[in-house]
Chains A and B, each alone.
Chain A
Amino acid sequence: MNDEGKNILSDIPGACGFSNGAHGPNDSACPVTRYRSEFVPSRLIDEARSGWFPRGIRHCLGCELCSPGPGVSFPSCADDLVLEGGHREGYIPRAFGGALDAVWSLQIAGNSRQKRLDWITNDIQITNENESGKVALFVGCAPYYDALLADEIGFRATDESRAAVEMLNSVGVSPVVLPDEVCCGGDRIHAGDRDGFIALGTRNRDLLKERGVKTIVTTCDDCRYTLGNRYPGRIPGWDFKVIRLADYLVERGGRLAFMPTEQVVAIQPPDRYSDPNSVESIRKILTKIPNLITKELEPGLPSTFGSWGQFDAISKRLETDYLKAAECTLAESVLVPGTRMLVRLMEGRRPGSWEETSIKIKGFYGFLAEWHTVALEFTGA
C-alpha cells in the first residue's frame, strides 16, 4: 500500500504494458513453466492485477521468451513486483550462501580498495587509471567468480574479460576498466533490495562519469540487461549507451580477422534477451572465421539462467536441457557469450563430476581471441 492506502501492486502490470484487454505473456514459451507448473506468467499478472503479491514470481529468469512484443516485458514487470512486494515472501534469495551478498555490502560501504585487475597483463591495453576514455568494459563479478570457483571448475571468468580487452584492442579501442567497479546489482533486484540496487547503480554511474565514459561494453548478457534495461528510470542520470561486446565489434567493423579452423561449434540462436536489437552479431562474426562450421541449438531455450539466488534444482535442469540441446548438434564445443551463463554451465558440469558433459563449454570471446589474428579489413556486415 502507498501513503494514500492504494494498492501499488495492482497498478504495476498496467504500467508495464499488461493492461486489461492487452496481450498477456506467452505462457507456452516460458522455460520455467515447463518444470514448475505453478509458475504461469499470465496467472501471476492476474494475481498482481488483483492486488496480490504473485507468489513465486522470483522464479522468473528474466529471459524475455514470454514477452508478447516490443515495449512489453514480463521480466520488467516481475522486477517491479519483486521490488514492491518481495519482502512479503519472507525470504531473501542469497548468492553462494550469502558470500556474494557480503561482497556487495562491502562494495556499497566502499571502505576498501578492491583487487580486481590482477588479470590485466602487459600484452593488452587499457586506458590508464588517471585518464578518461569514451568506452568502458564492464567486468562485473568475474574476479569474484575466479576467487570462488576457478580452482573447482578449472576456468577463470576473467579470461573472458581478458579476451574482451584483446578484441577491443584489435578494433583500436583501449577500454576504461574501473578498478573500483561494483556489481551491476541484478541480484539485488531479485532479492527485493531496492536500496542496495540503487546504491550499487549510483556508485557505478559516478565512477563511469568520473572517467568520461559514454559507452559501456559488456561480456555478460546479464550485466548488459541490468545496465541497459533496469538502470534507466531507476538510477538518476544514467545516460550511457550499453552494448554487448559482440554487437560493438560488428558496429565498429574493420580490422577483425581470424585464422582458419575446422572446428564445429554450436551457438544459441539470438533472441530478445541476448540480441534485443536483432544485430545477429554472433552469427556475423563467426562467418568471418574461415572453415569454421557453426551449428545452432534449437530455439526456445533461455539465454539466461537468472540470478545466483535462483540456483536450484529447476535451474539445474534448465542448464542440463541447454547442454543436451548443444550435444544434439554434434558440435565439439558450445560457445557461450555471457560470463555468468558460462560460469553457471561450467560450475554445473565441473571437470571430473559425474555430470561431465561430452561437449566442451567455451566462452565466445575467449574463442574469438584464440583464433583472432592481426589483420586485414573486415566489413562487419
Chain B
Amino acid sequence: MKIPERNDADNILFHCRRQNPDDFPAFRSLIFDGESAVEIELPCSGRIGTGELMQGIAAGYRRVVVLSCGEKSCVHKFGCMEAKKAFNKAKALAETAGIDIKRFTFIEADDPELELK
C-alpha cells in the first residue's frame, strides 16, 4: 500500500470498509480537533501493517488513526486483533525511534466507552 504524501492534510486515518468515519462526528472532532485527515479505506482493518502505520509517521502526518470494528464484531473474526497487533508494534517501534506515541490512536467502533456517536 502506498501512503499518500502529506500535502494539506494533517492526519491519516485507516478505516475498515465496514466503518464509515462520517458516522463518528464526535470522534472526528475529538481526535482531529478540526484538522483535516486523509482517509484510507481498507477491506478489513486487519490488513493494516506496521509498515503502513510507521510510514504515516515518516511521511509527516501528525496523527495516525486506525478505526476498526470491535474484536467481537469483526466479520472476519481476527481483523481487529491483527490490526491491534500491528498497531502495538508500530507504537513500540515509534517509541524506540523517539516519536511521541500519543500520535497513534486506535478506535474500536463497538467500544462501550466510546460514547462518541
Interface residue ranges, A against B (CB under 8 Å): 94, 96-99, 101-103, 105-107, 112-116, 143-144, 146-148
* Pairwise interchain contact A107-B97, C-beta atoms closer than 8 A: yes
* Pairwise interchain contact A106-B51, C-beta atoms closer than 8 A: no
* Pairwise interchain contact B51-A115, C-beta atoms closer than 8 A: no
Alpha-carbon distance A61/B53, docked complex (angstroms): 29
Most chain-A Cβ atoms within 10 A of its Cβ — which of B54, B55, B95? B54
* Pairwise interchain contact B98-A105, C-beta atoms closer than 8 A: no
Give the Cβ gap from A47 to chain B, nearest Cβ, in Å.
Answer: 30
* Pairwise interchain contact B51-A97, C-beta atoms closer than 8 A: yes
Contact with A along B80-114 (1 / 0, CB 8 A): 00000000011011011111000000000000000
Give the Cβ gap from A97 to chain B, nearest Cβ, in Å.
Answer: 3
Contact with A along B38-64 (1 / 0, CB 8 A): 000000000001111111011000000
* Pairwise interchain contact A114-B52, C-beta atoms closer than 8 A: no
* Pairwise interchain contact B93-A99, C-beta atoms closer than 8 A: yes
Please report the number of residue pairs spanning A and B whose Cβ atoms sit closer than 8 angstroms.
66
Q: What are 5 A-B interface contacts by the 8 Å CB criterion?
A: A106-B98, A143-B96, A147-B96, A148-B50, A148-B93
Residue of A nearest to B90 (CB): A99
Residue of B nearest to A149 (CB): B89
Alpha-carbon distance A96/B53, docked complex (angstroms): 12
5 more CB-based (< 8 A) A-B contacts, given A101-B58, A102-B55, A103-B58: A96-B50, A97-B52, A98-B54, A101-B51, A105-B58
* Pairwise interchain contact B97-A114, C-beta atoms closer than 8 A: yes
Residue of B nearest to A97 (CB): B51
* Pairwise interchain contact B97-A98, C-beta atoms closer than 8 A: no
Give the Cβ gap from A257 to chain B, nearest Cβ, in Å.
Answer: 35
Q: Which residues on the B side are within 8 Å of A144 (C-beta)?
A: 93, 96-97
Give the Cβ gap from B73 to chain A, nearest Cβ, in Å.
Answer: 26
Q: Which residues on the A side are within 8 Å of B50 (C-beta)?
A: 96-97, 99, 148
Q: Which residues on the A side are within 8 Å of B93 (C-beta)?
A: 99, 103, 144, 147-148
Contact with A along B9-38 (1 / 0, CB 8 A): 000000000000000000000000000000
* Pairwise interchain contact B89-A99, C-beta atoms closer than 8 A: yes
* Pairwise interchain contact B92-A103, C-beta atoms closer than 8 A: no
Find A102's partner among B58, B95, B98 (CB 8 Å cutoff).
B58
Given known contacts A147-B89, A148-B89, is B96 in contact with A102 (CB within 8 Å)? Answer: no
Find A94's partner among B51, B95, B98, B99 (CB 8 Å cutoff).
B51
Give the Cβ gap from A304 to chain B, nearest Cβ, in Å.
Answer: 23
Alpha-carbon distance A106/B94, docked complex (angstroms): 9
Q: Which residues on the A side are within 8 Å of B53 (C-beta)?
A: 99
Q: Which residues on the B side are within 8 Å of A148 (C-beta)?
A: 50, 89, 92-93
* Pairwise interchain contact A112-B96, C-beta atoms closer than 8 A: no
Find A103's partner among B49, B52, B97 (CB 8 Å cutoff).
B97
Give the Cβ gap from B108 to chain A, nearest Cβ, in Å.
Answer: 21
Alpha-carbon distance A112/B99, docked complex (angstroms): 6
Q: Which residues on the A side are within 8 Å of B57 (C-beta)?
A: 102, 106
* Pairwise interchain contact A147-B98, C-beta atoms closer than 8 A: no
Most chain-B Cβ atoms within 10 A of its Cβ — which of A98, A103, A114? A98
Q: Which residues on the A side are within 8 Å of B97 (C-beta)?
A: 103, 106-107, 112, 114-115, 144
Q: Which residues on the B side are within 8 Å of A105 (C-beta)?
A: 58
Give the Cβ gap from B12 to chain A, nearest Cβ, in Å.
Answer: 13
